[in-house]
Structure 1
């Protein structure tokens, strides 16, 4: 009779053998990972994420991390005594808010994630490199234009969101230089962009991840969030959606709240050349590995 440790050894070997076709499928392919503010969670979760990102690099993939930080920005604004204003669910970013947002995103969060990756990859010499969209003009933006209908007149009126930008151009050359360098680097990108005139703008991290994934022609884009994926009207996980079905989920009201911009980002990324986008729960240990290297996956996959 075999003991428990031997049984675990056989189970591990079986898992590795089953994962081999998927590892080969993604060999030398780029995977863009959106690491959301809520999915970051506790330090232990962040360390697990960093270790999994390092493992992807060691298995021959090219992970590129784009992170958010909305909850962290809100907390810092509160400590600084800067009041947040939201219009239609979108944060109005005035000069004071922009200064705090850049400090939190490009400073504290970006460098912390890069550091966790470097620590996790120390034995294999895998290193995290923290960047923002301002570096080498990685992300050029223009001021975001949003409109809403006046409830009384029905007329369209523009909403001034301040220093909130939309990407107009992604220059992926610096990212390509890093992921194909002699050393094993994992780029970590903060969602800060710059206009042609040099003005700094805050950009939605999902939007940045989608635009970057499209520019890199990524094999996969993983949107890590704090829900299992897209749920149907009965609360069941929808494991796969075509672009048309994703649009229908938005139009019919199946997708609500924060899931709508995530699906819109997924649609845009697929149409820009990304093979598929997966929305999954980043709080679950090894969610990325389950999604990429097992038959069942771990979230909702959106593809053409």
Structure 2
């Protein structure tokens, strides 16, 4: 069954999507396993037919999940050492009106204090909340960095200085 799945999902699915795209339409290839879209049980004839199943449930739900929140949850689930959020500001600012007031490093208590004092607001709130949640779930550090800075990701990973704000537990 594993080989069949690899061929159908990994090759045939991609070929179909490619052909549809070449014809001018937009297509996305999905597998019933993706996001548990389809849940199945063995067919009553499974013993005679092999890996044949019947659909028991279809989950048509769609949710708009914040990308930063999803990244934080994924980082925690895979046991990541570091969560990196790339944005269009330099990081957490001590003064929201002063782009030069970057906070280079802060702990969870400090972030919570800044949110409570109104120093962190707007779109930065979900970013710091997902960082705090990821840290609480075992991620070692979380950084919010400016994607407009050339090579910011490499600078954050490969230098001691980094480029944005690092949040620690």
Task: Give your verdict on TM over 0.5.
Answer: yes
User: Of 77, 84, 93, which aligns to 1:231?
Assistant: 93
Which residue is 1:287 aligned to?
152
What's 1:203 paired with?
Answer: 65
Q: 2:158 matched to 1:296?
A: no
Partner of 2:50: none
Higher percent of residues as strand: 1
- Structure 1 gap ranges (5+): 1-103, 108-130, 140-195
Residue 256 of structure 1: how far off its partner (Å): 1.2
Decide which structure has the larger Cα Rg and report it. Answer: 2
State the Cα distance separating 1:295 from its structure 2 match: 1.6
**1:215 matched to 2:77:** yes
Q: In the TM superposition, what are the counterparts of 1:56-205 in structure 2 within 5 Å?
A: 136-137=34-35, 197-205=59-67
Cα root mean square deviation, aligned? 2.6
- C-alpha distance in 2 between matches for 1:263 and 1:241: 11
State how far apart, in whole Å, the 2-side matches of 1:299 and 1:138 are: 36
Q: Which residue of 2 aligns with 1:271?
A: 136
Query: What per-residue deviation string (whole Å, max 9, x for no partner) do you get for residues 165-213 of structure 1?
Result: xxxxxxxxxxxxxxxxxxxxxxxxxxxxxxx843122211111111111
CA distance in 1, matches of 2:131, 2:115: 12
CA distance in 2: counterparts of 1:229 and 1:262, whole angstroms: 10
Instruction: Give unpaired runs (5+ residues) of structure 2.
Output: 1-25, 38-57
In the TM superposition, what are the counterparts of 1:7-22 in structure 2 within 5 Å? none
- Alpha carbons of structure 1 residues 135 and 206: separation in structure 2 relative to 1, 3 Å: farther
1:230 Cα deviation (Å)? 0.3
SS of the residue corresponding to residue 63 of structure 2 reads strand
Distance 1:202 1:258 in 2: 16
Count of matched residue positions in the alignment of Structure 1 and Structure 2? 120
* Alignment partner, residue 19 of structure 1: none
